[in-house]
Chains A and B, each alone.
Chain A
Amino acid sequence: MRNGTGNLARQGLTRRTFLQGSAATGVTALAGGSVLAGCGDDEGSTREGTEEYDQAGIDWRAAEGQTINVAVIPATYFGNLLELIPEFEELTGISVNSEEIPPGEIRAEVIRDLSTGAGNYHTHAADPMYYPLYVANGWVDALEPYLDDQDLTNPEWFAHEDIFQMWREATQIDGVTYGIPYDGEVTVQVYRTDLFDEHGLKPAETFDEFRSNAEAMHVPDDRLWGAALRGFPGAGQNMYIYPSLFRAFGGEWFDDGGNPTVNSDAGVAALEYYVSLLNDLAPDGVVNWNWPDIADAFAIGTLGSYIDAHSSAAVLQDEETSVVADSLGFARWPAGPDGRRVTSIWNWSFPINAAVSDDDKRATWLFIQWATSRETQVRTSYAFAGETKRSGVNRESIWDEDEHREAVDAGEGFIDAALTSLQEDTDLDWRPRVPEWPAIGDELAVLIQEALTGQVTPEQAMEQANNQIERILES
């Protein structure tokens, strides 16, 4: 859901009320050595002091006096981080200017900065799909020199490998690290437990079952549709969902020679499934829907199931706006014909701008290390003093903690579906990882929507898409 455009105001609103209830229990049970802040404090973290950071045994003040600019998107998971920045400034003596740029603009804004070498943003919230582009242009620095520098990083304390493997790999090119994931999400099945009970259904294990479950619940005359998926054209909208289908059906983006192969049988079959599911079992308008439209339709009780980001659950849990808040069920993606499940590996990560000075780069690394460290992840999630606890923390070990589970649990099967998906259903080639992705994603999105509205058949769409990708790669 962080992938979409124009949804932030909504997200802020809906997430504010996220998990009010469970939060109170989560924040009080904290790991040893920390000091509790006063109750009702809604700024910063319930943990205070720098003890946990001191344990890193590095010189946090190695870049004292530097000033860095950080661009993020206006979402609560970054909002929590921004609230803790005074702690970082106190710890390191580095000044941080932060700027919030809507997700629809941040890519173009950052690319303008990177491509001109202006060095305005020392680091930014980066789309993992853009690393091939960044690296092809030399716009960001390899991070190994910082990860391996004993003065700047304590590998045991930072524990880079504790971050979900696929998120780490999504920010690497040819095994070299260019970004550190801060927050991410998985796509999961969301369903109505009351309807499932009524019809005796089980969470779908296969695509056929997902469809037959939807058919069982589908009564459009009573304003209840079986299922929905994002249909709006865009690299972050319908091309956020289709890649999971494509890969689960066994599709490969390119052959060994680097030629596009989206017109393969798997590519066409995946699109046929997408088209027939939405045409037969989703509301008519779904071809123009993005995740908020789907979550809204589900919250007012007009959808039986959908597949989208686990974080969209926040909208459904608010009892004031959701009539289904107490009948939420979650499960992993259904499996494709060969038993393969493919979830989104979407995450926001921080790279280092290659155009800034060495001193600034050290300061930026300290910021990135601080923001993505276990301690700051905890302080911005279940130990955060405000109402909204982040659910997309980057570290597997935090997902294992009861405090985190309690703070984010959204309903039946939620933690299990999200965590198992993160561990088992990820796929590095979920989307084509090439520098030309922005153009490829956009062309595919348009053609997929043309197939969804019946302007072309799935076969024609993928044939045209293949030709377009060839043209893009050649030009």
Chain B
Amino acid sequence: MTRPETQLRNVTVGPDQHASTGDPGRRLRARLSATFDRERPFAALMVVPGIVVLALTTTLPLLYLVGTSLFRYDLTAPAGNGFIGFDNYVRLASDERFWDSLRLSAVFTASTVILQVSIGIGLAVLVERMSRGRALVRMAALLPILLAPVVVGLIWRSLMLTPDFGIVNYLSTVLGLGSRNWLGDPSLALGSVVVMHTWQWTPFAYLIFSASLATVPREILEAAEVDGANAWQRFWTIVVPLLRPAIVVVVIFRTVVALSAFDAVYAATGGGPGTATELVDIYIFRVSFQQLSLGYGSALAVAMLVITLAVTLVFLKMRRAAA
């Protein structure tokens, strides 16, 4: 955050310093800058509608959510509704189903992000070396991203993972692993939805890594090769460090999305069997919109918001430390 600000200051200060040098380009920039300064109030006025809309559509609902979390707001038994202070948060602290779902979300997030990053880099490096067909791979990679997550959930539930009927099940039978109830067996269901999520979103990581890889200077790699570095050394000591900014971006994006994963998993398992794939967002949805406890649901959502913010801040800190 601090660097962009100093850059900004340099830009505005710059023209003044050089105004007398007689360079026409600089003079023009100085005049433009003066114009901007004069019109700043007007510019601010122009921005106001945007800010108001943003406040109305994001900030206010957020405050309303926090407010609602302090009330008992059960639509199914409205008689006892009212302000209850932090009671919803006290209940949350001892709600085992919430902590279970949080643990599931943590496992789901960590495993999908690690898989997406490692498979994404691997794919990017491999495809980079292909002499032809790169454009085709990139296009094919886009397809899963374009699908609505609900569709992905239903496809994986009905076509891929259904025991006795599904494609994955057929492959596993052919490979001698036998027929498995991928989404119906509590011990396999979480792994299955991790694979499903990874299938849909690894292409996103791949596309970013692939673009980033294209900017790695050939010369460095060639020089390393001349110096006798083998393929692994070149990958680990040159490519990975150069991809680091891209990796951080992918990790942050994918973590936030995985923490709030809902649609595909809900369509595939409904959080089941039992609560075996009940991620936090599915639990919050159930409490709020199926059980109609809006106050407690809001408290859960606020808790999840705090957790997501904390995780994101940690990543941003790490990114700055690394840079």
Q: List residues of A whose CB falls within 8 A of some B CB.
A: 6, 108, 111, 115, 133, 136-137, 220, 223, 231-235, 237, 283-288, 293, 297, 302, 435-439, 441-443, 446-447, 449-450, 452-453, 455-456, 472, 475
Q: Establish whether residues B163 and A283, one from each chain, have CB atoms under 8 Å apart when the complex forms.
A: yes
Q: Establish whether residues B162 and A285, one from each chain, have CB atoms under 8 Å apart when the complex forms.
A: yes
Interface flag for B245 (CB, 8 Å): no
Interface flag for B292 (CB, 8 Å): yes
Contact A284/B273 with A133-B76, A439-B293, A442-B290 known, Cβ cut-off 8 Å: no
Beta-carbon nearest neighbor of A452 in chain B:
B273
Q: Establish whether residues A455 and B274, one from each chain, have CB atoms under 8 Å apart when the complex forms.
A: yes
Interface flag for B235 (CB, 8 Å): no
- Most chain B CB within 10 A, of A231, A237, A283, A287, is at A287
Q: 9 tightest CB-CB pairs across the interface, nearest first? A: A450-B274, A284-B163, A439-B291, A453-B273, A287-B184, A285-B162, A284-B181, A442-B290, A233-B272
Contact A453/B184 with A136-B78, A233-B271, A439-B290 known, Cβ cut-off 8 Å: yes
Q: Once bound together, how far apart are the Cα atoms of A450 and B75, in whole Å?
A: 27
Q: Once bound together, how far apart are the Cα atoms of A233 and B183, in whole Å?
A: 12
Interface bin, chain B = 35 or more
Interface flag for B154 (CB, 8 Å): yes
What residues of A have a CB within 8 angstroms of the CB of B76 in the complex?
133, 136, 435-439, 472
- A sample of 8 cross-chain residue pairs with beta-carbon separation below 8 angstroms, ordered by A number, consists of A111-B292, A234-B270, A283-B163, A287-B181, A450-B275, A453-B274, A455-B186, A455-B273
Q: Establish whether residues A287 and B272, one from each chain, have CB atoms under 8 Å apart when the complex forms.
A: yes
- B282 vs chain A, min Cβ distance (A): 11
Interface flag for B253 (CB, 8 Å): no
Q: Establish whether residues A285 and B78, one from each chain, have CB atoms under 8 Å apart when the complex forms.
A: no
Q: Once bound together, how far apart are the Cα atoms of A133 and B76, in whole Å?
A: 6
Beta-carbon nearest neighbor of A451 in chain B:
B274
Interface flag for B74 (CB, 8 Å): yes
- Residue of A285, A441, A456 near B163 (CB, 8 A) is A285
What residues of B have a CB within 8 angstroms of the CB of A284 in the complex?
163-164, 179, 181, 184
The binding surface of chain B is classed by DSSP as loop
What residues of B have a CB within 8 angstroms of the CB of A441 in the complex?
290
Q: Establish whether residues A283 and B165, one from each chain, have CB atoms under 8 Å apart when the complex forms.
A: yes
Q: Establish whether residues B290 and A288, one from each chain, have CB atoms under 8 Å apart when the complex forms.
A: no
What residues of B have a CB within 8 angstroms of the CB of A137 in the complex?
75, 78
Q: Establish whether residues A285 and B286, one from each chain, have CB atoms under 8 Å apart when the complex forms.
A: no
What residues of A have a CB within 8 angstroms of the CB of B181 in the complex?
284-285, 287
Beta-carbon nearest neighbor of A225 in chain B:
B164
Beta-carbon nearest neighbor of B157 in chain A:
A288
Interface flag for B269 (CB, 8 Å): yes
Binary interface profile of B, 253-274, with partner A (CB < 8 Å = 1, else 0)?
A: 0000000000000011111111
What residues of A have a CB within 8 angstroms of the CB of B273 in the complex?
233, 287-288, 449-450, 452-453, 455
Q: How many residue pairs at the A-B interface have CB separations less than 8 Å?
A: 113
Q: Once bound together, how far apart are the Cα atoms of A108 and B271, in whole Å?
A: 19
Q: Once bound together, how far apart are the Cα atoms of A456 and B275, in whole Å?
A: 12
- B170 vs chain A, min Cβ distance (A): 12
Binary interface profile of B, 148-185, with partner A (CB < 8 Å = 1, else 0)?
A: 00100010011001111110000000000001010111
- Most chain B CB within 10 A, of A232, A237, A436, A449, is at A449
Beta-carbon nearest neighbor of B73 in chain A:
A115
- B100 vs chain A, min Cβ distance (A): 12
- B173 vs chain A, min Cβ distance (A): 12
Q: Once bound together, how far apart are the Cα atoms of A81 and B274, in whole Å?
A: 39
Q: Establish whether residues B75 and A115, one from each chain, have CB atoms under 8 Å apart when the complex forms.
A: yes
Interface flag for B289 (CB, 8 Å): yes
Binary interface profile of B, 194-238, with partner A (CB < 8 Å = 1, else 0)?
A: 000000000000000000000000000000000000000000000
Q: Establish whether residues B291 and A442, one from each chain, have CB atoms under 8 Å apart when the complex forms.
A: yes
Q: A284-B163, A285-B165, A439-B290 are in contact. List 19 more A-B contacts (CB 8 A).
A: A6-B150, A137-B75, A220-B164, A233-B271, A285-B183, A288-B184, A293-B158, A293-B162, A297-B165, A302-B165, A436-B76, A438-B291, A442-B286, A446-B272, A446-B274, A449-B272, A450-B272, A450-B275, A453-B186
Q: Establish whether residues A288 and B78, one from each chain, have CB atoms under 8 Å apart when the complex forms.
A: no
Interface flag for B77 (CB, 8 Å): yes
Beta-carbon nearest neighbor of B278 in chain A:
A446
- B39 vs chain A, min Cβ distance (A): 42
Beta-carbon nearest neighbor of A10 in chain B:
B154
Q: Once bound together, how far apart are the Cα atoms of A297 and B158, in whole Å?
A: 11
- A292 vs chain B, min Cβ distance (A): 9
Contact residues, B269-305 vs A (CB, 8 A): 269-276, 286, 289-293
Q: Establish whether residues B292 and A439, one from each chain, have CB atoms under 8 Å apart when the complex forms.
A: yes
What residues of A have a CB within 8 angstroms of the CB of B274 in the complex?
233, 446-447, 449-450, 453, 455-456
Q: Once bound together, how far apart are the Cα atoms of A293 and B268, in whole Å?
A: 12
Contact A6/B162 with A287-B272, A455-B274 known, Cβ cut-off 8 Å: no
Q: Once bound together, how far apart are the Cα atoms of A115 and B73, in whole Å?
A: 11
What residues of B have a CB within 8 angstroms of the CB of A220 in the complex?
164
Q: Establish whether residues A6 and B293, one from each chain, have CB atoms under 8 Å apart when the complex forms.
A: no
Beta-carbon nearest neighbor of B80 in chain A:
A475
- B223 vs chain A, min Cβ distance (A): 55
What residues of B have a CB within 8 angstroms of the CB of A438 in the complex?
76, 290-292
Beta-carbon nearest neighbor of B296 in chain A:
A475
Q: Once bound together, how far apart are the Cα atoms of A6 and B157, in whole Å?
A: 13
- Residue of B75, B150, B267, B272 near A111 (CB, 8 A) is B75
Q: Once bound together, how far apart are the Cα atoms of A286 and B286, in whole Å?
A: 22
Q: Establish whether residues A446 and B267, one from each chain, have CB atoms under 8 Å apart when the complex forms.
A: no
What residues of B have a CB within 8 angstroms of the CB of A286 in the complex?
184
Q: Establish whether residues A288 and B269, one from each chain, have CB atoms under 8 Å apart when the complex forms.
A: yes
What residues of A have a CB within 8 angstroms of the CB of B293 in the complex?
439
- Residue of A235, A283, A288, A455 near B183 (CB, 8 A) is A288
Q: Once bound together, how far apart are the Cα atoms of A455 and B100, in whole Å?
A: 15
- B62 vs chain A, min Cβ distance (A): 18
Binary interface profile of B, 120-160, with partner A (CB < 8 Å = 1, else 0)?
A: 00000000000000000000000000000010001001100
Contact A475/B272 with A284-B179, A285-B164, A285-B181 known, Cβ cut-off 8 Å: no
What residues of B have a CB within 8 angstroms of the CB of A437 in the complex?
76
Beta-carbon nearest neighbor of A297 in chain B:
B165
- B297 vs chain A, min Cβ distance (A): 11
What residues of A have a CB within 8 angstroms of the CB of B154 in the complex?
6
What residues of B have a CB within 8 angstroms of the CB of A287 in the complex?
181, 184, 272-273
- A151 vs chain B, min Cβ distance (A): 34
What residues of A have a CB within 8 angstroms of the CB of B158 in the complex?
293
Beta-carbon nearest neighbor of B164 in chain A:
A283
Q: Once bound together, how far apart are the Cα atoms of A455 and B179, in whole Å?
A: 20
What residues of B have a CB within 8 angstroms of the CB of A233 in the complex?
270-274
Q: Once bound together, how far apart are the Cα atoms of A448 and B125, in whole Å?
A: 48
Contact residues, B58-96 vs A (CB, 8 A): 74-78, 80
Q: Establish whether residues A436 and B163, one from each chain, have CB atoms under 8 Å apart when the complex forms.
A: no
What residues of B have a CB within 8 angstroms of the CB of A6 in the complex?
150, 154, 267
